[in-house]
Structure 1
């Protein structure tokens, strides 16, 4: 019988979770098209568990109480920006989660939404260390009427304009404070101004100016940087919503020692969150790092070897690897395992010198890293990183494909300018002889000794115009002139002197 009741309770819980994941505005139409409340990340109706900040799912709502047990008469009521308080149901009203109720305020009444009821309220009160008979637990007056809701909505509409004018008054008075948020009470007779400041601020004149400008009672409340970020919300560097605005309630102190233990670089731009303080997530894995560091030696420990003293450089905690370098040769780092470092320390305790670090480094066997297989056929992401070769080198290396030799201009150039090939000594001697022959002085031009050119070259390389005369006939008059000049020089004795 007991197991049957537990199973039915679990089934009801699973159904409750399934159906409570979205409200009616997030469901689909008859055609299957989603409606959507267009809240852009936050539920407009306030009934979705994901839309409310610090929401708690009541998984005991469908569980029946034992016989003779009265239901818990204290409810959790939510206000603007996740502010929650506990209120007694002294009038024994039929109140359930999601109802809008009028509750007791500091003066007048306030309007809020019931966020939690039943036995889980005891757990939340115990977590916040609030007793059931405490003065902080006030009363629930009634369920909100339509008139109460209209006044409440009208007061909520004034908050943005009040915040803008309040900042103008603060800047006029020259106060060193930042007005972060304004919250009106449900009856519209009081407003709470939340601000942040580094030092103590005298805002007596500010309260007078705000009260006269808006005709309301003013309450100034200073909050920390973390509380301000929790009220405003946002997206963190991890891409998720801020922890302080979704589930984190207690803000523990975060020190730079947490970053040092985790071997993080002390860069304030990376370690600071939206609030300007160190990120709360630095404390999440700190205990795990502290447990892992217990087996590591101190960083100021010096390893004494035959080659010299070695000092610590860095470490990889979870791979249990350490890097050391010699004091005199700090340009090279040596990777050692944790066991090897302990072995060297034990040797040094016996007043002995250990082997050089080079021999210890060779003993580490690097495991082959299993890389992903490119089964899709995508290109490499680094394909654009390789430098491109110049056009000149491409032209030299490129070879024509499927073409006959001798017809391309490259083949003609090769005929004109034969490339030198690495040959033996004899080949080198022959090339040198050719060079020497080419550098011999040309004989004097004498028309008698000069032989007429054969027509073989003209046949090999025909001229463009067939009607033109050959070069020998065209240059004959110039040769005759040179002959006459040489004869005149022989006849003149002054030229010989």
Structure 2
């Protein structure tokens, strides 16, 4: 191992490079890197611990027994009623920041950690989790029989199996009092109903987005921000509902990621209403490359005619010249005729089907399903060509 390259190495508790204590199990959703794990006294700065349960559900608890907890430990925590089983995902000072972000206003929301999970606890936990899928299928059928306009998207059993949380989606208000009675009689557990939205359902179920990566709501997003079509307009994206919608059939959350940069960059671009006047013609703005700072002008508003691509700085200079009553010779700087250099596209001359294998043509089959002998199923024109002989005058005679 090359110890000279310390930049990309991970050390176990050392004071150099990254610390392995800050890295958690990557099979947990909403994983948070603890960048304060190496700081001396961080673990004892607070007794608050973040514990994650199934999918995206997290809770915050007091470590009243002063257990030596680390990221990835499985613990038994206080629940109502009984206890629940979860995985420690964060300890130390960062937990206080997470609680502030979660907007926990009541101190009753922070319960206690009992102990590190025992083998008996894990056996009950696995037994309860094995019933979740069948319970969800049965509960959907029960809701359908009661004619309730709702969809049960997920079921989560408590670690001790005494309680089950049913996550459902409904467009309107649903009276599920009769449903709770039927579910309690069927599954013999305490029932809790939680209504979630389409975004929360996508985060709990998970999936792969059109970008090829796992959904953001299922990996790192902890709260949802409203997304409007204005974000697409600022980024000059076509308002196509099929392309703008995500797996949850709502607008993609990633539309908000770069909108601030686009708004800041668009302030340096000229207005679409301003017409650039030169000595030879008037030019109208037809297209803008916001991040690159390039604008495309045409001599016609509707048709791309005499197209010129210039920088936004040059366009603003011409606007100032027009305000003073001056007109430049051309749009290009200093009368240059050189076109703007295009970015190099490595796949410009490549075909999208270059890796596709050529399919072999299948031989035709006769009526019995067997492959016909060679020469029997040739086209009639080919057969006629063999049986004819053309003379120099163009007349054909049969042999």
* TM-score band, normalised by shorter chain: 0.7 to 0.9
Residue in structure 2 matched with residue 342 of structure 1 by the alignment: 316
1:254-311 per-residue CA deviation (whole Å, 9 max, x = no partner) reads 1111111111111112111111111111111112111111111222333456677643
- Residues 328 and 92 of structure 1: is their aligned pair in 2 closer, same or farther, counting only changes over 3 Å? closer
Secondary structure of the 2:227 match is coil
Q: Give the aligned partner of residue 84 of structure 1.
A: 58
Alpha-carbon offset, residue 180 of structure 1: 0.9
Q: Do residues 322 (structure 1) and 302 (structure 2) align?
A: no
SS of residue in 2 equivalent to 1:101: strand
Q: Distance in 1 between matches of 2:300 and 2:334?
A: 17
Whether the 8 Å CA contact 1:13–1:59 is kept in 2: the answer is no
Q: Deviations over 1:356-382 (max 9, x none)?
A: 779999645333765659xxxxx9538
Aligned residues of 1:58 and 1:120 also touching (Cα < 8 A): yes
User: For the Cα contact (< 8 Å) 1:76–1:115, is it kept in 2?
Assistant: yes
Higher RCO structure, 1 or 2 (CA under 8 Å, sep 6+): 2
Distance change in 2, residues 1:382/1:154 (3 Å): closer
CA offsets, 1:10-50, max 9 Å, x none?
73575753x997xxxxxxxxxxxxxxxxxxxxxxxxxx621
TM norm structure 2: 0.74
Offset at residue 59 of structure 1 (A): 4.8
Alignment partner, residue 262 of structure 1: 235
Which whole-Å CA distance do the structure 2 matches of 1:298 and 1:292 have between them? 13
Which segments of 5 or more consecutive residues in structure 1 lack a partner in the other structure? Answer: 1-7, 22-47, 374-378, 385-415, 418-497
TM score, norm. by length of structure 1 = 0.61
CA RMSD of aligned residues (A): 3.6
Report Cα offsets for 1:26-77 as digits up to 9, x if no partner. xxxxxxxxxxxxxxxxxxxxxx6211111234454455429xx955222221
3-state DSSP of counterpart to 2:29: coil
Q: What is the match of residue 196 of structure 2? A: 223
List per-residue Cα deviations over 1:319-375 (Å, max 9, x = no partner).
Answer: 3322233457735252242244324422443466776779999645333765659xx
Give deviations 1:387-441, integer Å, cap 9, x for gaps.
Answer: xxxxxxxxxxxxxxxxxxxxxxxxxxxxx99xxxxxxxxxxxxxxxxxxxxxxxx
Q: Please name the residue that 1:288 is paired with.
A: 261
The change in CA–CA distance for 1:332 and 1:116 in structure 2 (over 3 A counts) is: same
Question: Which structure 2 segments of 5+ residues have no match?
Answer: 1-10, 355-391, 394-399
Distance 1:371 1:64, change over 3 A: closer
Q: Which residue of the partner structure matches residue 139 of structure 1?
A: 112
Is residue 159–residue 184 contact of structure 1 (8 Å, CA) maintained in 2?
A: yes
The corresponding residue for 1:155 is 128
For 1:108 and 1:329, the matched residues in 2 are separated by 70
Alignment of 1:426-441 (within 5 A): none
- Which protein is richer in helix relative to its size? 1
- Partner residue in 2 for 1:49: 25
Quick check: 1:190–1:217 contact (8 Å CA) kept in 2? Answer: yes
Instruction: Give the structure 2 partner of residue 211 of structure 1.
Output: 184
For residue 114 of structure 1, what is the aligned residue in structure 2?
88
1:477 matched residue in structure 2: none
- Are the aligned partners of 1:89 and 1:140 in contact in 2 as well (CA < 8 Å)? yes
Matched, 1:65 2:41: yes
Partner of 1:273: 246
Is 1:381 aligned with 2:351? yes
Q: State whether structure 2 residue 55 is matched by structure 1 residue 74.
A: no
